[in-house]
Amino acid sequence: MHHRLVGVEINPDTVSQVRAQLPKTIDLNEGDFLLWDTSERFDLIIGNPPYGIIGDESHYPLHVLKERKQRYKHRFLTWRGKYNIYGAFIEHAVHLLRAGGYLVYVVPTTWLVLDDFSALRRFLAREGRLEVYYVGRVFPKRNVSAVVL
């Protein structure tokens, strides 16, 4: 059986480092995963998407993506309110799965309860079976409780 590893990374320096270390083992695409278009569908998607809200530098951690926010909002049906960007990663990854495929993401627990994620919860309920495993605070020096989705 043939397996192929595919990655998408927005940071050019990280892409260079990975290509230097693993030149033939991974098909690494340099670009924005949330804007990445491919006709390929995957059996398994694993990740720990970035967490944060896109906005002004003075208030929000993901100000570097501010110019893309409107494109994201138009692309993702579950985007609502301030919306933490990891929700868009979940939606996009689900669309990239083959029928019967698996998504394994480590994400904050907030999508389970916040109103901004109500559309995401409905989307996930429609799209397939869902299992959520609470793992607690697994990131040192971060006040984030996480789940494996």
33, 49, 72, 117: the active-site residue: 49
Q: Going by DSSP bridges, is the β-strand pair 5-9/26-30 parallel, antiparallel, or unpaired?
A: parallel
| Known catalytic residue at 51 | yes
48, 50, 61, 102: the active-site residue: 48
42, 60, 102, 139: the active-site residue: 139
| Known catalytic residue at 139 | yes
33, 51, 83, 105: the active-site residue: 51
Q: Going by DSSP bridges, is the β-strand pair 146-148/97-108 parallel, antiparallel, or unpaired?
A: antiparallel
Instruction: Indicate the burial class of 48 (C-beta count within 10 angstroms; 0-12, 13-18, 19 or more).
Output: middle
Could you tell me the strand order of the sheet in which 146-148 lies? 42-47, 97-108, 146-148, 133-136
Give the C-alpha distances (Å, rounded to integers) separating 59 from 38, 52, 55, 62, 79: 34, 11, 7, 9, 19
Which positions are annotated as active-site residues?
48-49, 51, 139
